[in-house]
Amino acid sequence: MRYSVSPLITSVHPPPISEVKTWAAARLDGTLPLIDLCQAVPDYAPPPALNDYLKKLLDDPLTSKYSPDEGLIDVREAICSWYRHLYAARMSPDQICLTIGASQAFWLAIVTLCAAGDEVVVQTPYYFDHPMALALLGIKGVYAPFSEENGGIPSVSVLEPLITPRTRALLVVTPNNPTGAITPPAAIDELYGLARRHRIALILDETYNCFIPGGSRPHDLFIRPDWDGHLIHLASFGKTLALTGYRAGMLAASAPFIEQALKAQDTMAVCQPRITQHAVRFGLDNLGDWIAEKREVMARRHDLFREEFLRPGNCFDLSVSGAFFAWVRHPWEDLTGRQAARRLVDEAGILCLPGEVFGPGLERYLRLAFGNISHDDIPGAVERFRTVAV
């Protein structure tokens, strides 16, 4: 090409899922059916009632038009009602902006909060889109190491020394992607206290907040009248309602923060599509029982996956696991995660993600996403790990 591109973007590795899926076409043994443990996508469809409702809206010309940048007021009110159920939250519609998935919510939060040269302290393993976005924006990620001993739960004693005068936020994903680990409410409360002491933001990405076993409250921060003083909350309804392609995300923060974020929203996406907003409102108003049922489906899949993986004869060690994900240590000390994952593709027909895409020093790990395979397929998938030569 005759023009140049930004050195920031050339320094960022391509999206890991796109990279790994190219391995499938090039695998050495194409006779073994491929089992995809790569991407966390529910294998089930949205409920028929939701699809039927959306079909009725397609003939309405208004469905295809813009909405307000922050989203329709009735949709944001429905979210406030859902959050009173899920979190006992004190939340108002002006504290919400609907976004094109949780990934856009993160971009919106970061460009509103940070300038180039600022720092964000990130707990590893992280969701790989987050450091990619930070790098593209010229923002320094400062990475807190993963501790297998405590299951990757963030620790104030580890995070606090990483905070500098340039730090603008702490970033934590819970339930965690890639490990599935759930940060307990007491630990989240300590993280909020840390952010408040240093006058920075606690960014919580809670994409999987509806998959905590038993439907327990994820944390108590939203009960606080001052929750929006230091909390920026990212969420997605894509996994919750099996609408991943609809890109149904949200950003919740103080009303003044949302007001500023809407400047970026207007230049970035204008608004979340109306059809997506209608899907979210219908789902939250009518599908509570269905959501609870799918939460239990995923909990049973996790329990079966864990039981099968821990049976004798598996040379892969299960480090941490939870809904949708297992974080495992591969047995090859001389291989990186990429090399180990590529070997699994070639020898066992298993597609998964290498640990190093989730943080520095994590080459001995792999992420397995079992949310997109059925309960009956789990034993056979796990058995393939026992067929790989060490």
Q: pLDDT tens across 138-147, in order?
A: 999 999 999 9
- Among 286, 316, 338, give the residue marking a domain's end: 286
Q: What is the pLDDT of residue 126?
A: 96
- Mean pLDDT (the chain) is 94
Closest among 277, 246, 241, 268 to 96, alpha carbons compared: 277
Are 57 and 70 found together in one domain?
A: yes
- Among 271, 286, 301, give the residue marking a domain's end: 286
23-42 mean pLDDT: 79
User: Is 2 inside any structural domain?
Assistant: no
Inform me whether the pLDDT recorded for 232 exceeds 80: yes
Q: What is the pLDDT of residue 34?
A: 87
User: Is 360 inside any structural domain?
Assistant: yes
Inform me whether the pLDDT recorded for 223 exceeds 90: yes
For 62, 209, 287, 297, the CA distances from 292, given in Å and listed in that order, are 32, 12, 9, 9
User: Is 1 inside any structural domain?
Assistant: no
Confidence band of 362 (pLDDT split at 50, 70, 90): very high
φ/ψ region of 241 (left if φ > 0, alpha if ψ in -120 to 50, else beta) reads alpha
Are 83 and 152 found together in one domain?
A: yes
Are 346 and 325 found together in one domain?
A: yes
Q: What is the pLDDT of residue 323?
A: 82
Residues in Cβ contact with 189 at an 8 Å cutoff, skipping those fewer than 6 apart: 219, 220, 221
346-352 mean pLDDT: 91
Total count of domains within the chain: 2
Are 134 and 215 found together in one domain?
A: yes
Q: Which residue would you say has higher pLDDT here, 107 or 42? A: 107
With 0-12 / 13-18 / 19 or more C-beta atoms within 10 angstroms meaning exposed / middle / buried, residue 269 is middle
Lowest-confidence segment of 19-28, 164-173, 310-319, 343-352 by average pLDDT: 19-28
118-135 mean pLDDT: 96
pLDDT > 70: percent of the chain:
98
CA–CA distance, 135 with 16 (Å, rounded to integer): 15
Confidence band of 270 (pLDDT split at 50, 70, 90): very high
Are 94 and 218 found together in one domain?
A: yes
User: Is 263 inside any structural domain?
Assistant: yes
Q: What is the pLDDT of residue 352?
A: 93
Are 20 and 93 found together in one domain?
A: no
CA–CA distance, 292 with 86 (Å, rounded to integer): 11
Domain housing 41: 7-45+290-387
φ/ψ region of 179 (left if φ > 0, alpha if ψ in -120 to 50, else beta) reads alpha
User: Is 62 inside any structural domain?
Assistant: yes
Confidence band of 263 (pLDDT split at 50, 70, 90): very high
Token digits of residue 222: 């939203």
User: Is 142 inside any structural domain?
Assistant: yes
In 10 A of CB 56, how many CB atoms?
Answer: 10
The domain spanning residue 145 has which CATH number?
3.40.640.10
User: Is 339 inside any structural domain?
Assistant: yes
* pTM of the model as a whole: 0.94
Are 195 and 257 found together in one domain?
A: yes
Are 351 and 214 found together in one domain?
A: no
Confidence band of 102 (pLDDT split at 50, 70, 90): very high
Are 257 and 203 found together in one domain?
A: yes
User: Is 225 inside any structural domain?
Assistant: yes
Are 134 and 117 found together in one domain?
A: yes
Confidence band of 364 (pLDDT split at 50, 70, 90): very high
Lowest-confidence segment of 11-15, 229-233, 300-304, 350-354 by average pLDDT: 11-15
pLDDT > 90: percent of the chain:
84
The domain spanning residue 334 has which CATH number?
3.90.1150.10
10-38 mean pLDDT: 81
Whether the Cβ atoms of residue 114 and residue 120 lie closer than 8 Å to each other: yes
pLDDT in tens, 147-193: 999 899 999 999 999 999 999 999 999 999 999 999 999 999 999 99
CA–CA distance, 121 with 156 (Å, rounded to integer): 12
CA–CA distance, 332 with 158 (Å, rounded to integer): 29
- Among 264, 286, 308, give the residue marking a domain's end: 286
CA–CA distance, 327 with 177 (Å, rounded to integer): 9
Closest among 78, 61, 59 to 277, alpha carbons compared: 78
Q: What is the pLDDT of residue 28?
A: 62
Are 179 and 305 found together in one domain?
A: no
pLDDT in tens, 35-90: 999 888 888 999 999 999 999 999 999 999 999 999 999 999 999 999 999 999 99
107-126 mean pLDDT: 97
Are 247 and 363 found together in one domain?
A: no
What is the distance in angstroms between the CA of the first residue and the CA of the last residue of the chain? Answer: 45
Q: What is the pLDDT of residue 190?
A: 97
Q: What is the pLDDT of residue 197?
A: 97
Q: What is the pLDDT of residue 19?
A: 85
Q: What is the pLDDT of residue 371?
A: 81
